[in-house]
Structure 1
């Protein structure tokens, strides 16, 4: 589930404005691709209700990233680092599903937000107006 962790953390960074969060996902020695590297059109057009759930889940995922970043950085070796990342990934997935989205929906919305500036603006507006 490392791939979904990268998507979660990217989403959290987008919504919460945490520029340092993607560093947690870069455990394989490769840098995360830039947001602009995704040229295709968004595959989905999420509803406002889905975006609201996405924002709520992203805020929680951001908290998990903040919680686990020091644990990952303090891991003495790659095996323990992967164990911590897997634990964070599982916690993030549980939080996403508790907010009413599947992991696939969360990732698809994240991808769509990265590709569509108008959709990104809608998410930012929802995030700035506070969750209900």
Structure 2
């Protein structure tokens, strides 16, 4: 089946894909440096069921991402490519919502996993378990 060599990197990439237009700043808007250095956010409490939902969503998002990456390789028309990217983003958002997590919750868990080694370990363990289960099927 598929192997996950760098799950945290892929996880953060998936979270970024879902951020989409919400993180894009207006063109021409000046970028200002923060007045004070950013401090690490306090650890987020994530339940076991949220980890399971996150992994469900993550796996679905990865599948959609792979599918559309392959489709986009053969598209030469920029308008069609943009339309397909929007379609992929919508499907990814629906996949996350179907797990019971909001897009915001998904992104927060992904971000927390990047900073919290224990949470990252829980997610990687669940991912590994799921991938092994799929391979045994």
Counterpart of 1:62 in structure 2 is 62
> 2:75: which partner in 1?
75
Q: What do residues 89-117 of structure 1 show as CA deviations (whole Å, max 9, x unaligned)?
A: 11011111111111111111111111112
What secondary structure is seen at the aligned counterpart in 2 of 1:74? coil
How many residues were matched structurally? 104
- Tell me the CA shift for residue 39 of structure 1: 6.7
TM-score norm. by structure 2 comes to 0.63
Query: Bigger radius of gyration, 1 or 2?
Result: 2
Where structure 1 has 5 or more consecutive residues not aligned to the other structure, the ranges are 1-12, 26-37
Taking structure 1 as reference, are residues 66 and 100 closer, same or farther at Cα in structure 2, changes over 3 Å only? same
What is the alpha-carbon root mean square deviation over aligned residues? 2.9
State the 4+ residue runs in structure 1 displaced beyond 3 angstroms. none
Which structure has the higher relative contact order (CA within 8 Å, separation 6+)?
2
TM-score, with length taken from structure 1: 0.65
- Contact kept in structure 2, 1:42 and 1:111, CA below 8 Å: no
Structure 2 unaligned segments of length 5 or more: list them.
1-5, 18-37
Q: Which residue of 2 aligns with 1:94?
A: 94
Q: Distance between the aligned counterparts of 2:39 and 2:59, measured in 1?
A: 26
Residue 18 of structure 1 and its aligned partner are, at CA, apart by 5.6
